[in-house]
Structures are given as structure tokens and as C-alpha cells.
Amino acid sequence: MTETQTKNSYLEMDLLRFTTAGSVDDGKSTLIGRLLYDSKSIFEDQLEAIERTSEQRGDGYVNLALLTDGLRAEREQGITIDVAYRYFATPKRKFIIADTPGHIQYTRNMVTGASTANLAIVLVDARHGVVEQTCRHAFIASLLQIKHIIICVNKMDLVDYKEEVFEKIKQQFSDFSSKLSVPDIRYIPISALHGDNVVDESENMPWYKGGTLLYTLENVNINSDLNYVDSRFPVQWVIRPLSEEYHDFRGYAGRVEGGIFKPGDEVVALPSGFTSKIKSIETIDGKLEEAFPPMSVTITLEDDIDISRGDMIVKPNNQPTSGQDVELMICWLNDKKLNPAAKYIIRHTSREAKCVVKDVRYKVNINTLHKIEDDKTIGLNDIGRILIRTTNPLFFDSYKNNRSTGSVILVDEFTNETVGAGMII
């Protein structure tokens, strides 16, 4: 490759965000270590550092899992406490890994990692097959509308690389996954410890004809995962330079969260309902012909209408639902249980309001996906369906249609902690 080619291909590379899930000992850290190591994304000084630590701890081998345990307490206890983000690149793509802990008490961390992911890797131990954890993680991925799941059947080396074992697990999971709404599920037999089918094809499993994990990550098509149909532009900030040069400039800064905006488009501002036309889409580098997700731009309108942070610019013939009664699936993130008598602060796009919980419809048993109707207390790591009423109207879509305009967080008004993650139904 010539220098120019390297440079150009770098500038055209796209980005895949994925999350990894699996039980505590399914080899998640080893898999991530292996991906980084085999794709040559580990630097010598990092490797030396883990070699030193492995030796000190008496691991007897270079423990790739140490690469991902960044905090003192994690290294001491040998567990992952919180979501961490890792990065690597191949000539085709850049990758962001949301590395989430596998412990059951960290469901909230998995939800956090999954909220921005395009794809989820769910690890299954070949010796144990599909277990409760597998189903729970797949369910969370499905709930968070992750469209691609890769079931990595790990530790194939411990079952003599047998095809039957892999096929059986595949069948088990297919039976379960009929309850989920994930359009793209794939299965890859791997050994993270030895590197089979992670980056390099495995010589031990000639019967497997699919691509390696890295090949799949590089080639899965995520372009259609965003919503390019329903135009949504939540306003974050109004730009008024009041300088001599730009004295009359009034721009609405925000990020396109859906659809496509072009100069000349008729738009309506919510909540005022005033209509106007897009005069220009401005950036420091010049005016744009169009803006699409997830671009951050500044829009100017033909008319001076009253728009401020928290408002939303949309198309007149395609408006989001507007209202104060919102039905949510909620994942609870805090030790303090959801209090039906309390008021919470709700954040939705750039809008903030208060809300009360009007009803807890049911709690979900995340292992069986059954509704629990006799116990409706929602505590840490619980997922349930609730109805809330907000003090001001929100302009929203269902989470299924748009992850940005369909998601909210609840904040405790006294501790300021983020206590709930909600997906609008």
C-alpha cells in the first residue's frame, strides 16, 4: 500500500461499536485480549507490563485478561468492576469495545454498554452450553435494539473441537431466540485462549465454514441501522454571535437524530408549532447540501421564530408523538429502589422535565422473559414496564424506531444520580 492509499482508506474507514457479554468465567477478557493481541493493537510496553504482572502473580502464562483490568481493585480481585472502553483498528474498520462485567449484579453495566452498541458478542462456554446468563444477555441486547448478535461458542479446545457440541448449542440458542427481536444472529466456534477463529482461521475446526470473528466484525453491514426516514433535530444551543460580521446570525445547533435535512425543506418547530423553511445548514467548513445522522450541525431558518434548547425541529408531515404520558421499559441502575411516590427528573434528547411514575405495569424475569405481576418493586438491575407522566410534553418516537428520540434517563432530584434508563414503547 502506498502512503496515499493508507491515508485515504483511513479517512474513509467506518466505525463499529460492540459490546461483549458472557458469564464471569466464559473468557471475555481473554477474548478481548486476543482480539487486541492478534490484530496487533497491543504495544510492547503494555505487553511487558502484563508479562511482569503475570509473573508476579504466578499466573504461569501471559494473562491477556490483565490487559483489560485497569483499576487497582480489579487487579486485586481479578474481576471487572465497571464498563471500560477499548479501541482497535484494522485496515477496514475502527472498533470501540464496551467491555462490560459479567456478574449478575452488573446488569446495569451491560445496559450501559449496549446502549451505544451496533453489535453484541455473547460468549457461551462450549462445556456448559446455553445457560441463564446467555439468555439474559441476549434479552438485554434485544431490548436495547441491537440488531446484530454474534454467539461465540468459546473454549472449543476443551470439547475436542467437536462439531456436534457447536451444533447443539446453536440449536439451543435458536429455540430461545425466537422470543427475541434480533434480525441478525450468527454463531462462531472459537477458542479465545488459543486464538481459534478469533482473528485467524482455526485448523482445528475444518468443518466450520463461516468467517472468523474479526472477519465478521469487519464485514457486518451496519449502515442501515440508523433511521434516515423520520427527520428529527433536537436543539441543543442557540448560536447568536452578535459580532459585526454575523450580527443577524441566529443558528440552531444540534445533532441530526433521524432523517435528512436540506436547505429549502419545510420544517416545524416543536412545541411552538411555528413553521418555516431551512435557509442553510452551516458549519465552519462551509454550508452543507444536506445533513444526516449522526452529524452535528447548525441550522438557520428563513423566519425568526422562537426556538430554544429542548425544542425539536421536524418535518410538518412527519412528526413525533407529543405528550406527557409515556410508557417505558425501564432498567433500574441504583441501589435505591424506584419510588412510585417520588418525582424524578427526566432527560430526553436535549429536553429536561420532571415526572411521576403513575403505574408499574409489570417486572420482567430476565431469565425466562416472563412478566412478574405480583411483585412490582423495581430495584437495582431490575427491568420493568412503567407508565410515567411528565410536567412538560416530550416529543418522542418509540425506541424501536429511533434509539435517540426513544430513550430517556431518570435522575434522582436529591442525589443527582442517574437512576433509570428507559426505552419508550
Partner 1 sequence: MISYNLSHLKQLEAEAIFIMREVAAQFERPALLFSGGKDSIVMVRLAQKAFWPAKLPFPLMHIDTGHNFQEALDFRDDLVKKVGARLIVRNVQDSINQGRAVEEKGPNPSRNGLQTITLLDAIEEFKFDACFGGARRDEEKARAKERFFSHRDEFGQWDPKNQRPELWNLFNGRKSQGEHFRIFPLSNWTEMDVWQYIAMEKLEIPTIYFSHKRTIVDRNGMLLAKSDYITLLKGEHYEERTIRFRTVGDMTCTGAVESEASTLDEIIQEVAAARQTERGTRADDKRSEAAMEDRKKQGYF
- Of residues 150-209, those binding partner 1 (CB under 8 A): none
Residues 402-421 that bind partner 1 (CB under 8 A): 403-404, 407-409, 411, 416-418, 421
Q: Which is nearer to partner 1, 169 or 419 (CB)?
A: 419
Q: Which of 3, 164, 244, 374 binds partner 1 (CB under 8 A)?
A: 3
Cis peptide before 294 (omega within 30 of 0): yes
Chain centroid to Cα 201, Å, comes to 28
Spatial CB neighbours of 11, under 8 Å, sequence gap ≥ 6? none
Q: Which of 237, 272, 343, 400 binds partner 1 (CB under 8 A)?
A: 237
Q: Which of 51, 59, 82, 157 binds partner 1 (CB under 8 A)?
A: 82
d(CA 321, CA 393): 10
Q: Which is nearer to partner 1, 22 or 251 (CB)?
A: 251
Residues 37-76 that bind partner 1 (CB under 8 A): 43-46, 49, 53, 67-73, 75
Q: Which is nearer to partner 1, 44 or 164 (CB)?
A: 44
Q: Which of 79, 253, 356, 380 binds partner 1 (CB under 8 A)?
A: 253
Q: Which of 20, 30, 63, 112 binds partner 1 (CB under 8 A)?
A: 112
Q: Say whether residue 232 binds partner 1 (CB under 8 A).
A: no
Q: Say whether residue 295 binds partner 1 (CB under 8 A).
A: yes
Nearest CA among 313, 285, 294, 320 for reference residue 394 = 320
For the bound state, the minimum distance from the C-beta of residue 418 to partner 1, rounded and expressed in Å, comes to: 5
Q: Which is nearer to partner 1, 40 or 371 (CB)?
A: 40
Q: Which is nearer to partner 1, 67 or 326 (CB)?
A: 67
Total of residues contacting partner 1 (CB under 8 A): 84
Q: Say whether residue 305 binds partner 1 (CB under 8 A).
A: no
Q: In this structure, which amino acid lies at residue 269?
A: A
Strand partners, 296: 255
Q: Say whether residue 246 binds partner 1 (CB under 8 A).
A: yes
d(CA 314, CA 230): 8
Q: Which is nearer to partner 1, 134 or 350 (CB)?
A: 350
**Stretch binding partner 1 (CB under 8 A), from 181-189, 232-240, 314-322, 382-390:** 232-240
Q: Say whether residue 81 binds partner 1 (CB under 8 A).
A: yes
Build a one-symbol-per-residue string for 92-111: x at contacts with partner 1 by CB under 8 A, - elsewhere: -xx-x-----------xx-x
Q: Which is nearer to partner 1, 189 or 234 (CB)?
A: 234
Spatial CB neighbours of 234, under 8 Å, sequence gap ≥ 6? 254, 255, 257, 310, 311, 312, 349, 350, 351, 405
Q: Which is nearer to partner 1, 109 or 133 (CB)?
A: 109
326: left (phi over 0), alpha (psi -120 to 50) or beta: beta
Q: Say whether residue 240 binds partner 1 (CB under 8 A).
A: yes
Q: Say whether residue 342 binds partner 1 (CB under 8 A).
A: no
Q: Say whether residue 298 binds partner 1 (CB under 8 A).
A: yes
Q: Say whether residue 282 binds partner 1 (CB under 8 A).
A: yes
Q: Say whether residue 371 binds partner 1 (CB under 8 A).
A: no
Q: Say whether residue 294 binds partner 1 (CB under 8 A).
A: yes
d(CA 424, CA 355): 14
